[in-house]
Amino acid sequence: MANVFKTLKSAACAAALISITTAGSVAAESLFEGCPSGQIMQRFVEFGKTGKMPRDLGKWLSTPEDQAVEPWKPFDNVDYIGICWASAWLIHTDDGSVLIDTSYGPFQDKILQNIKSTGTDLADIKYVMMTHGHFDHVGGAASLKPILPNAKFVMTQKGWDEAVESAEKSQGGRRAWTMIEPEMVVADGDEITVGSNKFMVVETPGHTWGTASYVYDVQDGDDTYRSITIGGLGLNAIEGPSQVEAYIASVDRIRELVEAEDAPIEVHLTTHGFSAGMDENRQKLAERKEGEPNVFVDPQALLDQVAGLRERAVKRLATENSK
């Protein structure tokens, strides 16, 4: 997802993220009960059809009380510390922790509280790996930078450029935000070792030109799985057919990583939970009985998601080429 306060260009692009369920009735004081993936996705599809942000959805996206999610653990070495609609992941190693994405604006106090509630010392966070330059993923970098004394902030060069440009354009508006100066620049294939874990950079342009995904290990008891946080899934910031072509190539590459014979990816820890039914899977995980598999270890679900993304991107490419 990108900046949801901008117009989504295509409802079909939003629909690519997950299957839609019908939204239930909504109480006047709260848009949703909890964090239901299908209902949230339905509202984004409606937004895409009209091109106008519904007032109640915009309010929900900006209200800390509505977005608050208590930290939880999908894996032994991973904490979810994000908000309802936008993810932030904290991956722990035997030599420090890595934060993936920063959240933004009104949620920075909650993110900081969530980090501390996991027992993580802020000084132990070694890297902040950011997926792309949209505010909902990097908007918190400026507030986190002064309080993470040992952290290096990481992004691709194009990602940094996009973030700086986006922040500059926001000045004078209702939702102005600032971005830190570019720090650590990474490129496709780079590996960052933290303790016994290796974080591999996979450039996946398409959602934006600077989008990157990160591949790393997650632990479930005695089992180790290769996981990916895909940097961006939406087609709502497309500038033309060449960007859609890049998106399709990125989707194909992710599929190859999932199908690889050597160290295949089996887990997707998504940047937007409602794109992959994350809260529903969280609830299933909480009810897991001894000996049952971890619901987040599901390469077929990731392959199915990727196939849907590709199908819709091909349709979008035809639309772009016909302009």
**SS3 label, residue 251:** helix
Q: Are strands 223-229 and 212-220 parallel, antiparallel or unpaired?
A: antiparallel
Q: Is pLDDT above 60 for 164? A: yes
User: Which CATH superfamily is 68-321 part of?
Assistant: Ribonuclease Z/Hydroxyacylglutathione hydrolase-like (3.60.15.10)
Domain ranges of the chain: 68-321
| Cβ-contact 14, 271 below 8 angstroms | no
pTM for the model stands at: 0.89
pLDDT band, residue 175 (cuts 50/70/90): confident
Q: Which of 54, 5, 69, 48 is nearest to 273 (CA)?
A: 69
State the pLDDT at residue 221: 97
Half-sphere exposure of 171 (CA within 13 A, CB side): 8
- For tokens 């969280």, name the residue: 282
Q: Which percentage of the chain shows pLDDT scores above 90? A: 82
More confident residue, 29 or 147: 147
Tens digits of residue pLDDT in 79-95: 999 999 999 999 999 99
Please provide residue 231's backbone torsions phi and psi, each rounded to the nearest 5 degrees. -65, -30
- Mean pLDDT of the residues in the chain: 90
Tens digits of residue pLDDT in 286-308: 999 999 999 999 999 999 999 99
Helices (H), 171-295: 241-259, 278-286
Helices (H), the chain: 11-15, 37-50, 55-62, 64-67, 108-117, 135-138, 141-144, 157-170, 241-259, 278-286, 299-321
Range with the poorest average pLDDT among 51-55, 98-102, 225-229:
51-55
Amino acid residing at 91: I
Any residues with CB less than 8 A from the CB of 220 and at least 6 apart, and which?
75, 76, 294, 297
